[in-house]
Amino acid sequence: MLVLVSGNGSNLQALIDAERAGNLGGARIAAVVSDRAGIFALERAKRTGIPVHTEVPDRALPKEQGREELSGRILRIAGEYDAALIVLAGFLSILRGDLLTLYEGRIINLHPSLLPKYGGPGMYGEGVHRAVLAANETESGCTVHIVDRGTDTGPILVQRKVPVLRGDTPEILAARIHREEHTAIVDAVLIMAARFSAGYKPL
Ligand code: GRF
């Protein structure tokens, strides 16, 4: 599988640790793709000996064209490694085009809310947690879902809940959710690995 990252990469680390422990259902991280340079996720991959690719979006292109162009580069990399699964583990670029068609049902995304709540365009990072707190929710959590052509709309594989506590700030809530993400992302890969070994043909 390919793991796509944009930041610290603690979820990537959870996958690396699970693979090392023999707890990833036979799935293997073939390579890591980042959409920005210099992020810590790349260090995590390098020190584990996983090949890395930094593919920065071309800001000179109009937005949609830029998304397609970046997706095309990721599709080529996925082909190079013959990846069966693509995992978006804190990946902030939006994917488009042939990648979504050719990998339909085989791209999974991690989102820091209980989808379908607090998902969709513009709902990422701290903004999600601020919205949850502003709505006085009593619980939040994380979701791993299959990517479709919408934003955060695909079929849900795993959800993990956490309570929202009095006095929570977006940072405190984010940290509580983050811990659950590390289990959720591994569980989702295990579900996909089991589907593949049962002959799952998503296309
Ligand atoms: C996570 O909160 C994830 O839900 C969001 O980006 C964050 C990534 O964290 N999409 P990390 O880079 O895996 O530490």
198 CA to middle of ligand 1, Å? Answer: 30
Write the single-letter amino acid at 132: V
Give me the residue spans of the domains in the chain: 2-111+143-161+181-197
**Residue with CA closest to ligand 1 atom 7:** 90
Q: How far apart are CA 158 and CA 185, in angstroms?
A: 8
CATH architecture label of 2-111+143-161+181-197: 3-Layer(aba) Sandwich (3.40)
Q: How far apart are CA 46 and CA 172, in angstroms?
A: 30
- The pLDDT tens digits along the chain (203 residues) read 999 999 999 999 999 999 999 999 999 999 999 999 999 999 999 999 999 999 999 999 999 999 999 999 999 999 999 999 999 999 999 999 999 999 999 999 999 999 999 999 999 999 999 999 999 999 999 999 999 999 999 999 999 999 999 999 999 999 999 999 999 999 999 999 999 888 876 64
CB 133 within 8 Å of CB 177 = no
Active site residue 129: no
> Measured in whole angstroms, how far is the alpha carbon of residue 185 from the centre of its chain?
8
Rounded to two decimals, the pTM is: 0.95
Q: Among the atoms of ligand 1, which is closest to the Cα of residue 41?
A: 12
**Residue with CA closest to ligand 1 atom 6:** 90
